[in-house]
Amino acid sequence: MKRTLIISIVLMVVAYAGISVLMSMKNDAPARSGQDNPAALNYQIYCAGCHGENLEKFTAKKWMDESGNASIIKSIKFGIDTEGMPAFEQTFSDSEIEDLAAYVKKGIPADRSSLKPALKEGDVIKSEAQDFIVETIVTGLDVPWGLVFLPNGDLLISERAGTLHRFSKGKLSPPIEGLPPIRAKGQGGLLDLCLHPDYATNGWIYMAYSALNPEKGKSTSNTAIMRARLEGNTLVDQQVIFTGSPFTDRSHHYGCKLAFNEKGQLFFGIGDRGQHFDFPQKLDNANGKIHRVNDDGSIPDDNPFVNTKGALASIYSYGHRNPQGTSIHPLTGELWVSEHGPRGGDELNLVEPGKNYGWPVISYGINYDGSILTELTEKEGMEQPVYYWTPSIAPCGMTFLRGDRYKKWNNNLFLGSLRFHYLERVVLNGHTVAHTEKLLQGIGRVRNVVVGPDGYIYVAVETPGKIVRLVPVEK
């Protein structure tokens, strides 16, 4: 299939999706206007993926309270590179930009939490293979990111704002002390958590975060991995085992999900840091890569580029955009990674050592402003995704289900959709996606999904943040 035909299909699908969303909106709030409003349609097609269908992802900005729309018009027209905001000067006319700015300014809801559809506690949700009940376990969060259970059943929760909490006996602790300096801006902050496979013996907790450049303060950052032990409500014995380089002034595409394999080696992905033409295809930097290190940050002897001159020895694979899910298959030990594409072309990849996954040379997506990013969807020497999503669902958090709690879901893959507010169940047949199913539709932006030591699926939802548990019900 030629690239031009694919682009045409992508644009039609995205446009149709935007119209469908608009047609399904039930009330008269400005942010939910019908398809007869061109600004509303443009917002749904070009903006909703990042800012929410109801504008709920806008955080407090000076332009919200200023008179007139000059600031937001400037942002839409010229973009903000450091925050990942693209320029739409070539996409819209001046009048369309003015209308879009007015639509956004008028439509931002005062109470964003009220826009989130509620799933009633105790109601049985019927799915294709497994009915279940949703139980809310933790509330009072903002943007929960990492979830990890301690052996005693306590739950550690990282929040993107740079706080770490312990949930124990029904209560959320005050913020845990001892975290490193963190750049909590844009997509950056305190990210994923995981335990050492031998945690019961050594007590190591691993955490990913957006680290500040010690030489330039708050102006630049990159993804780092630290391990520490928890004593009471304080982290001790902190050791930074990896810091990505180079630092950049961008506040997006940090990665970063963590996963240990059976050998005790740690996998994690770092995004292209919003500079896709600079980093992913080059081996001399950490960005746009999947990395593998030993538990202390040292390099495994069999990493694919250990003996490649000029290459960063931690690199396991390259050509990635923004990996947001990292999971080891419980039966095969294979590494699976989900990652955000641009507009369209989110990917599920089976990651193998030394391979090139193509970004930005090949992609099934287009630029956010609707322009063509690349003419190629495949190229010799570059891997194809096992599966891709168009329109983008913004996949985040990913886990394989293990155990017998959900008898018909075992070994299925579960991942969250930030864009469309659901949990996706993926059925694999070897290395092929045989089936998908949308669960929890309307619950909110799903940031993470894990399986607890009790065998239940736990799901982290954003703004207002909460953790829910899926309790199976036999048919």
Q: Do 213 and 202 lie in a common domain?
A: yes
Can you give the pLDDT at residue 20?
A: 38
Average pLDDT of the residues of the chain: 87
Rounded CA separation 44/160 (Å): 26
More confident residue, 88 or 30: 88
Rounded CA separation 449/360 (Å): 28
Q: Do 242 and 385 lie in a common domain?
A: yes
pLDDT band at 33 (very low <50, low <70, confident <90, very high): very low
Give the pLDDT confidence of 321-335 residue by residue, as tens digits.
999 999 999 999 999
Give the pLDDT confidence of 409-433 residue by residue, as tens digits.
999 999 999 999 999 999 999 999 9
Rounded mean pLDDT of 252-273?
A: 97
**Final residue belonging to a domain, choices 59, 81, 114:** 114
pLDDT band at 282 (very low <50, low <70, confident <90, very high): very high
Residue 78: helix, strand or coil by DSSP?
helix
pLDDT band at 61 (very low <50, low <70, confident <90, very high): low
Q: Do 167 and 69 lie in a common domain?
A: no
pLDDT band at 56 (very low <50, low <70, confident <90, very high): low
pLDDT at 8 over 70: no
Domain that holds residue 408: 116-473
pLDDT band at 51 (very low <50, low <70, confident <90, very high): confident
Can you give the pLDDT at residue 147?
A: 98
Can you give the pLDDT at residue 1?
A: 41
Report if pTM > 0.75. yes
Distances (CA, A) of 205 to 33, 179, 353: 47, 12, 26
Q: Do 82 and 231 lie in a common domain?
A: no
- Secondary element (H or E) of residue 468: strand 465-473
Q: Do 216 and 289 lie in a common domain?
A: yes
Q: Do 109 and 120 lie in a common domain?
A: no
Question: 264: domain CATH number?
Answer: 2.120.10.30
Residues with Cβ within 8 Å of residue 54, at least 6 apart in sequence: 29, 31, 32, 107, 109, 112, 115
Burial group, residue 140, by CB count within 10 angstroms (0-12, 13-18, 19+): exposed
Q: Quote the percentage of the chain above a pLDDT of 90.
A: 69
Q: Do 76 and 157 lie in a common domain?
A: no
Can you give the pLDDT at residue 74?
A: 73
Q: What letter would DSSP give residue 114?
A: G
**Final residue belonging to a domain, choices 114, 145, 175:** 114
Residue 23: helix, strand or coil by DSSP?
helix
Rounded CA separation 23/329 (Å): 40
Rounded CA separation 206/326 (Å): 14
Question: 65: domain CATH number?
Answer: 1.10.760
Q: Is the dihedral of CA 274, 278, 281, 285 positive or negative?
A: negative
Q: Do 97 and 135 lie in a common domain?
A: no
Q: Do 98 and 125 lie in a common domain?
A: no
Rounded mean pLDDT of 85-92?
A: 78
Distances (CA, A) of 454 to 65, 96, 261, 314, 450: 48, 53, 21, 34, 11
**Final residue belonging to a domain, choices 114, 132, 161:** 114
Cis ω for the linkage preceding 175 (within 30 of 0): no
Give the pLDDT confidence of 341-359 residue by residue, as tens digits.
999 999 999 999 999 999 9
More confident residue, 330 or 92: 330
Strands (E), 169-233: 171-172, 190-195, 205-213, 217-231
Can you give the pLDDT at residue 184?
A: 93
Cite the active site residues. Answer: 253
Give the pLDDT confidence of 267-276 residue by residue, as tens digits.
999 999 999 8
Q: Do 309 and 433 lie in a common domain?
A: yes
Beta pairing partners, 152: none
Q: How many domains does the chain have?
A: 2
Residue 400: CA count within 13 A, CB half-sphere? 17
Rounded mean pLDDT of 17-29?
A: 34
Q: Do 468 and 440 lie in a common domain?
A: yes
Give the pLDDT confidence of 208-252 residue by residue, as tens digits.
999 999 887 678 999 999 999 999 999 999 999 999 999 999 999
pLDDT band at 105 (very low <50, low <70, confident <90, very high): low
In this structure, of 209-218, 273-282, 466-475, the range with the lowest mean pLDDT score is 209-218
pLDDT at 63 over 70: no
Give the pLDDT confidence of 188-220 residue by residue, as tens digits.
999 999 999 999 999 999 999 999 998 876 789
Q: Do 164 and 138 lie in a common domain?
A: yes
Can you give the pLDDT at residue 58?
A: 66
